[in-house]
Amino acid sequence: MKKRILVLALFISASLPICAQVDLGKGFLKDKKSVETFTLAEYFFDNKSYLQALPFYSSLDALYGTNTYLLYKEGICQLYKSDEFDKALEHLLVVKSKNSKAANINLFLAHAYHLNERYDEAMTTLDLYDLGRGNTPENTVESARLRQNCIHAKEITAAPVDATISNLGAPINTGSSEYVPIVSADDSLMIFTYKGDRSIGGLQTEPFVSDSLGEYFEDVFFASRYGGSWKNPEPMDSTINGFSNDACITISNDGQTLLIFKDEAGAGDIYSSKLVSDVYSEPIPLSGEVNSMAWEGSACFSPDMQSLYFASERDGGYGGRDIWVATKNADNYWGNVKNLGPNVNTLYNEDSPYLHANGVTMFFSSEGHNSMGGYDVFRTKLTPIDSTFSSFSAAINLGYPINSPGDEKYFILSTDGKHGYYSSGKKGGMGQQDIYNIASNFDVDNVNVMLLSGLVTMDGKKVYSNINIKDDEGKLRNLNISSKSSTGKYSTTLALGHKYSVSFAIAGSDPQIRFIDAAPAEQMVMNTINISFYSKAYLDSLRADSIARNVVVVVDKKPDVVYPTGNSGDYNDALRIYGDATSPGLVFRVQIGAYNIPQNYKADRLKRLGFFRKNKLEDQITRITISEFLTLNKAEKFRQEVIAAGQSDAFVTGEKDGTRYLIGELFTLRFFQN
């Protein structure tokens, strides 16, 4: 048995006479096991480890659940557990009805009312507390702050914003804590921090010291999304996760640089890890002046990777935790650290900065400003003052129901600016912190972003490729990214209003270069560039196979519509033979237009049928499709609805692992049989 257990056992024995002063009734003092459980609960409570104390108190409910003292301690602990705010209020009300003089009962009860969004009752209870005697200066300040939170909450909830908030649910969220969501630019990968029974170190009192009475340390998890659903999260490997607290912080827009938090050196620092093929490298402390002797634990990059916004508890700020900015020197050294100033920072804590890919709109969390309580999410905008200096505007609360009396932190916004993610300890969650999706108007005036993505293959197989991006004005330093060897996929964001050259290189082949003219636009622009490399041996074998199978691919009247003939059959044969077949990664879409200038396409008559998807391919023509299906029969049924709605030339296309195919190509490549 570990030394820690022995120490606690001795502590329990020594504490029995003290605990004997509290009699929970029903033979409690003669029940040695209950006394030891209660002593452990008191130990954790006195050390302010309320979530560790709660299960010990709760385990005594069956025998002593009517005891006022037990309900009092349980109720206080439940103020720190987001899925038990209602129980906290229930228990503390019982305590007050039985013992109105219980220590600080009105202050705790006011907190419970506040967390349950009963603000008038919270303030009435604070009136009773403030009129009482013996209030400490610290509690008096706490009461005044809570009253201000209630006033802000009433004002904000009286004018709710239009927002749809959805708990991501299983498998992302569990009864444990999930927080700090960071999502790839194409919304297909989520990395987040997890703290629960799947944590590598298990229950510990300190790194590498297992203890059944300890707590779980943080680990970094990831989950992929296919077909609109998040798949089962998995922990990142031992390169990232160790036996101390390892938490994700942010990822660059190109997915190549991951920042994580580690507390191996004491207060906690920011570490950097680089994507090498499909694996993130061993994290190393961020070079420069960002890390200090104080805590640094959340950050985000500017889109051009030249600035880092981060939260720190270092001296020289406005409160306990402020948001600062550092700039990168030519040698990748982060220096010139500056505080963001009073429009962002307050006397209270600020945390979790996130700068959108447009480089203008920042979101962050704060306990100050007009917070409803705990951390609320705020928005500010970077405004140019002159050619050399910019300043952030006054912070604006994102409003209710996005914010609540609980903690809302780690907000990030999708590249298109239409939905966001954050973690919240709001009432009604699955555990402590849960991850939520929010659809709302986030007041991003001009997204001004191109999402560049695609697939790189060699002889039809996904492959790792070095990708270099340059703009013709030299404003963008050479951006070097890569496709993943396991998926062949890549993605990044680029500012609109520039011309770019994109060079794809793999070993043994000549580079392929594509050019992009990214005209300014108010909405996000999607540009898909799929690159196929072929070896001579592969092309020779493909020709031989085609001749042997007598496959002939012909082009129909429309240049996009290709149907197979000969042994491969026609479109009707595809419906008959493979209409209900599915293949991993294969989806079908109904194409309704192909335009050089997609804004010219008007399809009001089709809006009721679903969402449009615009995809600009390497031929610079934008294909417009509507809806998505897993089988050809379902896509064909929907195509008939589109035709009935007035789009007579609609037809079905396929997409396999991010690459667009015509139905004839799917036949030729035999994807239906995979």
Whether the predicted model's global pTM rises above the 0.95 cut = no
* pLDDT in the model for residue 92: 97
Q: Which residues pair with 587 in a beta bridge?
A: 655
Within this chain, do residues 309 and 413 fall inside the same structural domain, yes or no?
yes
* pLDDT in the model for residue 671: 59
Q: Per-residue confidence at 550, pLDDT binned at 50, 70, 90?
A: very low
CATH code of the domain containing 8: 1.25.40.10
Q: Which residues pair with 361 in a beta bridge?
A: 381
1 pLDDT above the threshold of 60: no
Residue 538 domain-assigned (yes or no): no
Residue 288 domain-assigned (yes or no): no
Q: What is the pLDDT of residues 360-397, one digit of tens each?
A: 899 999 999 999 999 999 999 988 655 455 689 999 99
Range among 128-132, 541-545, 550-554, 653-657 rated most confident? 128-132
Interacting residues of 351 by C-beta distance below 8 A, sequence separation 6+: 297, 298, 311, 321, 323, 364, 365, 366, 375, 409
- Residues composing the chain: 674
Residue 540 domain-assigned (yes or no): no
Residue 564 domain-assigned (yes or no): yes
DSSP 329-382: -TTS-EEEEEE--TTT--SS-EEEEEE-TTSSEEEEEESSTT-SSS-EEEEEEE
**Domain stop point among 249, 283, 317:** 283
Q: Per-residue confidence at 553, pLDDT binned at 50, 70, 90?
A: very low
Within this chain, do residues 32 and 80 fall inside the same structural domain, yes or no?
yes
Question: Percent of the chain scored above 90 by pLDDT?
Answer: 47
Residue 539 domain-assigned (yes or no): no
9 pLDDT above the threshold of 50: no
Within this chain, do residues 457 and 438 fall inside the same structural domain, yes or no?
no
Question: Percent of the chain scored above 70 by pLDDT?
Answer: 85
CA–CA dist 635, 651 (Å, integer): 9
**Number of domains composing the chain:** 5
Within this chain, do residues 564 and 656 fall inside the same structural domain, yes or no?
yes
Q: Which residues pair with 336 in a beta bridge?
A: none
Q: Per-residue confidence at 298, pLDDT binned at 50, 70, 90?
A: very high
Within this chain, do residues 437 and 297 fall inside the same structural domain, yes or no?
yes
DSSP 584-621: TTEEEEEEEEEESSGGG---GGGGGG--EEEEE-TTSP
Torsion of CA 280, 283, 286, 291, to 10 degrees: 140
Are the C-beta atoms of 400 and 123 separated by less than 8 Å? Answer: no
**Domain stop point among 93, 125, 157:** 157
| Ramachandran assignment for 550, one of left (phi > 0), alpha (psi -120 to 50 degrees), beta (any other) | left
Within this chain, do residues 300 and 389 fall inside the same structural domain, yes or no?
yes
CA–CA dist 98, 108 (Å, integer): 15
596 pLDDT above the threshold of 70: no
CATH code of the domain containing 308: 2.120.10.30
Within this chain, do residues 393 and 493 fall inside the same structural domain, yes or no?
no
CA–CA dist 209, 201 (Å, integer): 9
10 pLDDT above the threshold of 70: no
The pair of three-digit structure tokens given for residue 579, joined into one six-digit string = 């209409």
Residue 542 domain-assigned (yes or no): no
**Domain stop point among 442, 477, 492:** 442
* pLDDT in the model for residue 517: 85
Q: What is the pLDDT of residues 476-533, one digit of tens each?
A: 777 888 888 888 989 898 888 888 999 999 988 888 888 888 888 777 888 888 888 8
Within this chain, do residues 301 and 325 fall inside the same structural domain, yes or no?
yes
CATH code of the domain containing 594: 3.30.70.1070
Within this chain, do residues 438 and 453 fall inside the same structural domain, yes or no?
no
Q: Per-residue confidence at 563, pLDDT binned at 50, 70, 90?
A: very low
Are the C-beta atoms of 490 and 482 separated by less than 8 Å? Answer: yes
- Cα dihedral across residues 320, 196, 76, 83: positive or negative: positive
Higher confidence at residue 569 or residue 100? 100
Are the C-beta atoms of 182 and 421 separated by less than 8 Å? Answer: no
160 pLDDT above the threshold of 50: yes
**Cα 10 → chain centroid:** 44
The pair of three-digit structure tokens given for residue 478, joined into one six-digit string = 């050479």
* pLDDT in the model for residue 603: 63
Question: How many CA atoms lie within 13 Å of 272's alpha carbon, on the beta-carbon side?
Answer: 17
Helix or strand or coil: residue 116? coil
CA–CA dist 436, 63 (Å, integer): 38
* pLDDT in the model for residue 557: 29
CA–CA dist 617, 350 (Å, integer): 42
Higher confidence at residue 16 or residue 180? 180
Q: Per-residue confidence at 66, pLDDT binned at 50, 70, 90?
A: very high
Q: What is the pLDDT of residues 12-41, one digit of tens each?
A: 444 444 444 688 988 898 899 999 999 999
Give the domain extent around 458: 449-533
Question: To the nearest 5 percent, what fractions of the chain are helix, strand and coil?
Answer: 25, 35, 40
Q: Per-residue confidence at 544, pLDDT binned at 50, 70, 90?
A: low
Residue 66 domain-assigned (yes or no): yes
CATH code of the domain containing 485: 2.60.40.1120
Q: What is the pLDDT of residues 242-263, one digit of tens each?
A: 888 899 999 988 888 999 999 8
Q: How far is CA 166 from CA 3, 232, 334, in A?
A: 45, 18, 37
* pLDDT in the model for residue 152: 98
CA–CA dist 415, 526 (Å, integer): 10
Instruction: Quote the mean pLDDT of the chain.
Output: 84
Within this chain, do residues 138 and 197 fall inside the same structural domain, yes or no?
no
Within this chain, do residues 453 and 436 fall inside the same structural domain, yes or no?
no
Residue 322 domain-assigned (yes or no): yes
Q: Per-residue confidence at 554, pLDDT binned at 50, 70, 90?
A: very low
Radius of gyration of the chain (CA): 29
Which of 160, 159, 154 has the alpha carbon at shortest distance from 119? 154
Within this chain, do residues 18 and 101 fall inside the same structural domain, yes or no?
yes
* pLDDT in the model for residue 19: 47
11 pLDDT above the threshold of 50: no
